[in-house]
Structure 1
Amino acid sequence: MKTLTLLRHAKSGWDDPVARDFDRPLNAKGRRAAIAMGRHWRQIDLDFDHIIASPAVRVEQTLEEVESGYGRTLAPAWDRRLYLASAATLLDVVRELPDTLSRVLLVGHNPGLEELVLLLAGDSDDALRDAVEEKYPTATLAELALGADRWGDAKPGGATLTRFIRPRDLDASLGPDEG
C-alpha cells in the first residue's frame, strides 16, 4: 500500500518586499512552526522514500527548518509543477511516481494540497477530513493511505486520511494570531 504525505509550507512573510510571490520568505512564526514539525516527525519516526517539493523560497526554507528539528537531511527533488499547483496537477505528479516507492512526501502550497486531500479522501464522515475541510494551515502535514499498490491507481475517494497534524497541535503559540 502506498502512503502519500503532504506538507504545506510554513507561514511566509507578506511584509517582506520581494518582487515575485515565488521569492517570498518565511516569517519568524513560520520558522518556529517548521522546526516544531521536524521535532515531531523525529518523535513519531516519520520517514519517506522520496520527497518532491515546490522550488519556491518559502518551501525551501520550510524544509531547511524542518530538517533542523528532524535531525535528518531531506533531499527533495525540486519540481516547478508543484508551485501553486492545482489538485489535478498534484494528482498527475503522484500518478507518475515509480511503484518502487512506498512513502512519498509532497511539499507545496494551498489551495492545491487541501483540495488533493479532500479529493483523495472522498466524502467520508471523518473528524480528520472535517478538520482539513475547515482549514489546512501553514506547516501542516496530512498523511493518506492510498489503498493502492500502484501510484498510478491513486483515485478520488480511494484514500484514507490517517494523520492531520497542525503546528498548533504541537504548541498552542503556533496557532492563529489573536485579534
Structure 2
Amino acid sequence: MRTLSLLRHAKSSWDDPVETDFDRPLNGRGRRAAVRMGRYLRDEGLAFDRIIASPALRIRQTIEGLEEGLGGRLQVTFDRRIYMASAVTLFDLVQAESDATGRLLLVGHNPGLEDLALIATPEDDAPLRAEAYKKYPTATLAEIVFEGARWAEAAEGKGRLTRFVRPRDLDPSLGPDD
C-alpha cells in the first residue's frame, strides 16, 4: 500500500509588489492556515517518508508554517518541476518515486494538485471526492491510498481518497477561500 498526500500552498498575497508569480509571498491568513495545518499533522500523527515541494516562495513559507505548527523541522526536497505542474507531470513524479517510500507528500499548486486528486481517484459520489471536485482551497491536505506495492502501479482512478482537510474545517476563521 502507498499513501500519497497532496498539500496546496497556503493563501498568498496578490497585494505584494513582486516581479514574478514565483516570488509571491503568503498573506496573513495563509501564514495562520499553514501553522494550523502543521498542528493538524502533529495531532493526527501524520509523518511522511519523503516530501517533495515546489521551490516557489509561497510554498517555502507554507512549509515554514507547517514546521512551526508541528514543532519540528521537515526534510523537504525542492523540485522545480512541481512549480505550476500539470497533473500529468505530477503523476509522472509519483510513479517514478522509489518503492522505499511508503508515504509521499507533494506540496504544490493548483490546478495541478486538484486535477491529480481527481484523476487518481474513481469518479463516484464519495463525499470526500465530491468536496475535492467542488473546490480544492489553499492549504488543503488530500490523502490518496493506492493498494499496489509499487508507486509505478499507481494509476488513474485506482486511488482511494481517504482524507480531505481544509483549514476552515479546523478553524472557521481560516475560510472560506475567496
1:167 Cα deviation from its structure 2 partner: 0.1
Give the aligned partner of residue 57 of structure 1: 57
Deviations 1:62-116 (A, max 9, x none): 0000100011211111000000000000000001100011000000000000000
Give the aligned partner of residue 142 of structure 1: 142
2:4 counterpart of 1:12: no
What is the 5 A alignment of 1:18-37?
Answer: 18-37=18-37
Bigger drift between 104-113 and 71-80 goes to: 71-80
Distance in 1 (CA, whole Å) between partners of 2:116 and 2:67 is 25
Distance in 1 (CA, whole Å) between partners of 2:177 and 2:86 is 28
Aligned Cα RMSD in Å?
0.9
Give the aligned partner of residue 165 of structure 1: 165
2:129 counterpart of 1:115: no
1:177 Cα deviation from its structure 2 partner: 6.1
Runs of 5+ unmatched residues, structure 1: none
Distance in 1 (CA, whole Å) between partners of 2:64 and 2:177 is 24
What is the 5 A alignment of 1:40-79?
Answer: 40-79=40-79
TM-score of the superposition, structure 1-length normalised?
A: 0.98
Q: Which of structure 1's runs of 4+ aligned residues deviate more than 4 A?
A: none
1:53 Cα deviation from its structure 2 partner: 0.1
Kindly tell me the number of residue pairs found equivalent between the two proteins: 178
Distance in 1 (CA, whole Å) between partners of 2:19 and 2:29 is 22
Name the SS of the counterpart of 1:173 in structure 2: helix
Distance in 2 (CA, whole Å) between partners of 1:69 and 1:100 is 27
Give identity over the alignment, percent. 58
2:38 counterpart of 1:38: yes
